[in-house]
Every structure is written in C-alpha cells, then in structure tokens.
Structure 1
C-alpha cells in the first residue's frame, strides 16, 4: 500500500466518524471492481424449476474456481521451472484451498432429485461439462494430454489457442520431473525431453526416482515436500471426480449423458484414473 493511499483511507475514516461511506456517484466501487452487475446478470434459467438456478450457479462457480486453480498450477509450474520450490509449494497450497471449495460445491446439487432435474434437463440440449475448456486446461496441466479433446473448441479461436498452447507445453508434473533431473536424480531421458503433446504411461524408473526422494524424510527435504503437495493435489482431483460421478448417479442414474457420452460409465472410468500414478505406485513399493 502506498503511503498516500494509507493517508487517504485514514482521512476518509476520520471524516466518516469511523462509519462506512454511504454515498457514491453511480455504482459502488465494490460493484465496479468485481463487475458484480455483470456477474449477477449471467443466471438465465430457461424453466420455472428452482433447481435449474442452483444448477446454473453451481456450474458458474466451478468455472471460476477452475480458472483460479489453473492460475495457481501455472504459477507452480513456472516456479518449478525457475528452481523455486518454496514458491511452487505456496502456489500448490493456495490451489488446495480452491480445490476443497470445488469438491464441496457439489453439495449445492445434493438435494436435486431426478424429477427436478428432468424438468429442465432437455433445456441443456447437448451442453455438457465435458465441453468446459477451463476444465480441459486443468487436465492438460495434470498431464492428461489428448489433442482430440481440443476438437469441441475448434470454432472458438481463443479457447482453441489456449488449449493448443497447453497441449504443447510441459505439464506441472513434467516440470517437476525435469527439476528432479536438474537436481541430479536419474530421471529417464524420455521423460526429460519428449513430445509434450503426448500422454505417457507410468515408468518404473520414475517410481524408483521418487523412492530416492522419499528415502530422505528429514525435515527440510523440499523435494519430498513437493511430492507430498502433488499428492495432495492429486487426491483432491480424484475427490472432485468422484463427487461428480455421484452427483450424476443421484440425479440421472445410468442414462446417456447430454454431451453424447455413456454418462455414468464415462465418469466412472475417469474417476478411476490416478493423477500422477507414479507417486501412487511408489506407496506399494516402499
């Protein structure tokens, strides 16, 4: 805070007798700063079913949180690239808070019965959360790469460009493995430099590298702290996927999804997919 700003605020508080300012020309500074009028104009239900408003707001809240998590994960990846592990840890831990809110956001739909959902489901047409480019960006950051998944966004130049860039860049986990390599650990060469657009299978030699990291569990081992922060991230992703699965199962059972998928079967396969599998496999082998 600049000294002039601090002085201005003290003077304003004294002028107001320590009470908040109650008169403004036009919209309040709060509304202008947060674009609140715009935000609150975006809830446009198509039916009279009250659950539709809950559904729309929950979707929009999740999109905002996806954006926040993406910001923090990119900060973490860039910090890892710069060999600044403390900054990477701070970004991951900030993201954990947003991820926790994402998981709990499913509670907003917990009371939606199949009957209520059916009253507005047809209004979705082919709309599906699968089509969220903000969520797809998170999957790419996790290393779940697939060029085919950009397909739904080819008609949106901005979304397509962002996803193509994310596809071609190292993921958060790729950046961490490259850090381990720079620190002298024997990360396989094919995991240090490769085609970043391709997803990869778990590699036993990477599991062994993590075993070396975990062998030193004395306080101050920042690589171990980073590994555990990645596991905290991965576990939260899986919790969100499971909550998504259960919300769909509760609201519509095993019906086909609106976006053309098999619905419950598709989500179940996704929920069973480990994030950072080598860190999970390590637990069996230690």
Structure 2
C-alpha cells in the first residue's frame, strides 16, 4: 500500500535563493522526483481521485464536491477550535482568540458553499437523488465532531458511527472531553467570577443546560463594556462563531427546501421539518440570553 504521505525534503532560505539564481527568477519547471513538490506536499493527485459520483448525471459532481469541500472545512474548524480550547486552558487567551477568529472565517466559507448548491434545480437534483441511497449529511462524523467540541452534545449522535471503529473512538474522545465553552466557563472562574460549583462539576457529556451563574458572569463582563478586556473579546468572537454556525444551519434548511420541498430526507428524517427544529438550537446560550439583560 502506498504511504499516506510522500517524502519531501525540506528546503532552506539559502537553497531557495540558489534556485532563484539558477532560474533567473522564473518558476522551476524540472524536478528530480516522479511528482512535483507541490503534489508531494498536498497529495492533490490523491485528493482529486476521491470525486466518484454514483450516477451518470452531470449535475451530481456539483453536489458531490460541495459536500467534500464542507468536510474539509469542518476538519479545519475542528483543528482550530481544539487548539483554541487548549490555549484557553493554559490562560493564553489572546492566542485562543486569534484561532477562534480563524474559525469564524472558516464558517463564512462554509456558509458560502450553499449558493453553489442553489444552482441545482429540483429536477437536476432529482436526477441523481436515488443514487444517494440512505446517505445523508446527518451522518457526517466531522460535522458531529465540530458540534461536540463547540459544546452541542447528544449521546444519540454517536450511534451512527459505532461500526467505524477508529472514527468512533476519535469521536468518542471529543465527546468525552470538555468543549471550548466548558473551558471558557472555567476561565471565567479563574478570572474571579462566581460560577456555580454544580455547573463546574457537571457531566460534560450531557446535553448542555444554560446556567444562571454563567449568564451573570457574562453580564458583568458586558456591562463593564471594556473592549480591551480579553474576556469581552473572547465572548464576542464566540458569539460570532455561534451566529455563523446558526447561519450555516438556516442556509442548509433553505437549500434543502428549495431542492426537495417538504419531502422526507434521505437518511430517515422528516426533511425540512426536522431541520427546522435543529436550527432553533444556539451554541453558547448564555451569550445570547445576556443580550436580553443588557
């Protein structure tokens, strides 16, 4: 079996200068290896073999690639949220905020994938829909990983992935660990805000229940209205993440209704009716409720 990565020798600043001198400032066009360094680094030749639509309908490729692009962006968001959580845990809040801003930008890209799917007409989608079988975005384990690490946890959402041993264990690890919202709440406590001991000791695998002490802590942060306060800026970037996440969910709902109307979904859901319930949920609920109190 071919290895997952290819050997790629690092280069130094001196080597880069020497290459420019040898090419006269033009791009290098000959290489010693069987693939270009770009292909060796990105594995793009492998990536571009993964688009395998299941029908003969031309329009399915748009649907297929849109889904894969979203999966890559989910993975990036998970990577950045996890690192941000670790930075918050170690009191490096400024770095955490920077990473979370990258997540916001990633979410904006996710939202802007939906207009590509909006170019499909209902007839075009129906032309290949049967080829999906029971496949549904609901079954995306990377999306579920993102939900878990952001703090939206439901043990039932683990069930679809139990047969995929390695993936299930990774997903379970994220499910069992504190979310970025849990870490932020502990940070509030470290910074002197009164947080309920019962809330701090809660089972982080249970669905999140808003807590009055967390809401009051954020109320104090927002009433101080100090843009220089890292907690204020952390609250604002988390709100941007929550808002963009809800925007993605709502755009999902609208795109699905545009394509299939009130038909049932492919994966066993009631389609738009089920999606409408999902979009009512909000990440970081105390950041939303505190706005009513200001």
Q: TM-score, normalised by structure 2?
A: 0.94
Q: 1:174–1:191: 8 Å Cα contact kept in structure 2?
A: no
Q: Displacement, 1:147?
A: 1.3
What SS does the aligned partner of 1:41 have? coil
Quote the residue 1:191 is aligned against: 199
Shift of 1:205: 2.4
Q: How does 1:1-286 map to 2 (within 5 A)?
A: 5-24=12-31, 25-286=33-294
CA distance in 1, matches of 2:227, 2:73: 32
How far off its partner does 1:275 sit?
A: 1.4
CA distance in 2, matches of 1:130, 1:121: 16
Which runs of no fewer than 5 residues in structure 2 stay unpaired? Answer: 1-10
Distance 2:237 2:247 in 1: 15
Residue matched to 2:3: none
Name the count of aligned residue pairs. Answer: 284
Give the Cα separation in 2 of the matches to 1:36 and 1:130: 27
Unaligned runs of 5+ in 1: none
* Deviations, residues 51-100 of structure 1 (Å, cap 9, x unaligned): 20001100000000000000000011111110111011011011111111
Shift of 1:32: 1.3
Structure 1 residue 155: deviation in Å? Answer: 0.7
TM-score by length of 1: 0.97
- The CA deviation at 1:116 is 0.5
The 1-side partners of 2:69 and 2:227 are apart by 38
